[in-house]
Copies of this chain bind each other. A is one copy, B any other.
Amino acid sequence: MPASTVIYPPKQKYSFLDDYSEGAHPQLLEALVASNGTQETGYGNDRYSQEARQHIRNHLGRDDVGIFFVPSGTSANAISIAACLRPHEAVIAASSGHIVTRETGAVEATGHKIINVLPENGKLTPLSISQALEANWHYPHMAKPRLVYISNATEFGTIYSRAELAAIKALCVENGLLLFMDGARIGAALTSPKSDMTLRDVLDLVDIFWIGGTKNGALLGEAIVVKDPRLAEDFEFYIKQRGSLLAKGRIIGIEFSELFRENLYFELARRGNTAAQKLSRSIEAAGYSLLVDTETNQMFAILPLKLIERLQQDFIFYVWEKYDVDHAVIRVLTTWSTDFDRVDEFARIVMNWKAE
């Protein structure tokens, strides 16, 4: 049965496969250990979760938003989207979006159609959203577009600029659409060298979004930020009904409290971005091209197949797609925990191989 096929990395190889290969940042673990013995109210009403909410609200600069913790990105997406929609309403998303490609039809399992849109570098635009609206107007024979899903950073590591997001928001307002941001990698997005947005900007420009913990230093957990007070009032019902309200909600509370008490969350994300930048500059210096510019902690490099084979002797990464007869695109993911020595080693192999 599939569950028993062990495929963890052999010890000698270093993994750039994803951003959840390691455990938690040590500071989070320490807080977990330190708080372990206290008795707390269950289901997210503990003091740590309350503190974490307050810290996040401080970062957002607004106190009147609901903040809810769930264990995974798929639960964050499916719960948020289903909570916003009536049964006949549909989601507009890029065909590369995580809810389309990697969540086992979780949104459809809540009853909602996803209208696929071709992305540009992983992103939606006012034009592509408009086209989706035009193709889905036929009352009552087509599901009614109601919510736009974007991920930031995207599945290609690209980010939305403030202007891009504002333009999408304007179109949404005009057409009665809600705007939802999947923030699994929002830390990487906001600390990108290219970024011109803060967490507060995101809050101002979307209707509902979430801040990913799992991919940025937490053991598990994502924080959903809900602006609409009526939605927030009942939001825990949705979380509980979908099996995502942990009895020991304290675990996620403790983690987010550490991440947002000061700026640890953003420091961790920046470190992942820095590693990817470094790697990307090496790749380009060695004369190779990137599929898309490296804006966050994901690098998509076009490399000769032989070089890829050489790299695979020491590293694990995703061979994304064929490029041409001699080349393929690889995806390399760096994180808060990436070992910079290994980054250097990876770069060295690329450089030296070139020299052969």
Contact = CB atoms under 8 A, between A and B. Distances in A.
Interface of A: 1-9, 14-15, 18, 20-24, 26, 29, 32-33, 35-47, 50, 53, 66-68, 70-79, 82-83, 86-88, 90, 101-106, 108-114, 116, 138-144, 214-215, 219-220, 229, 232-248, 250-251, 337
Nearest to A69: B3
A6 B139 contact: no
A40 B2 contact: no
A116 B67 CA distance: 34
A143 B99 CA distance: 11
A211 B104 CA distance: 25
B36 A23 contact: yes
Contact of A72 (B83, B112, B244): B244
6 contacts: A1-B233, A9-B41, A15-B39, A23-B251, A108-B113, A243-B244
A260 to B, nearest CB: 16
A22 B40 CA distance: 6
A102 B8 contact: no
A9 B87 CA distance: 32
B143 A3 contact: no
Given A23-B36, A23-B37, A36-B29, A236 B3 contact: yes
B88 A241 contact: yes
Given A8-B46, A21-B40, A105-B90, A66 B113 contact: no
The 6 closest A-B pairs by CB, nearest first: A75-B243, A105-B143, A105-B113, A23-B36, A88-B237, A140-B236
A116 B101 CA distance: 13
Contacts of A72: 71, 243-247
B139 A236 contact: yes
A15 B46 CA distance: 13
A141 B39 contact: no
B232 A3 contact: yes
A7 B243 CA distance: 22
Given A87-B241, A104-B241, A22 B36 contact: yes
Nearest to A98: B141
Nearest to A47: B8
Nearest to A44: B3
Given A33-B33, A45-B7, A243-B78, A88 B40 contact: no
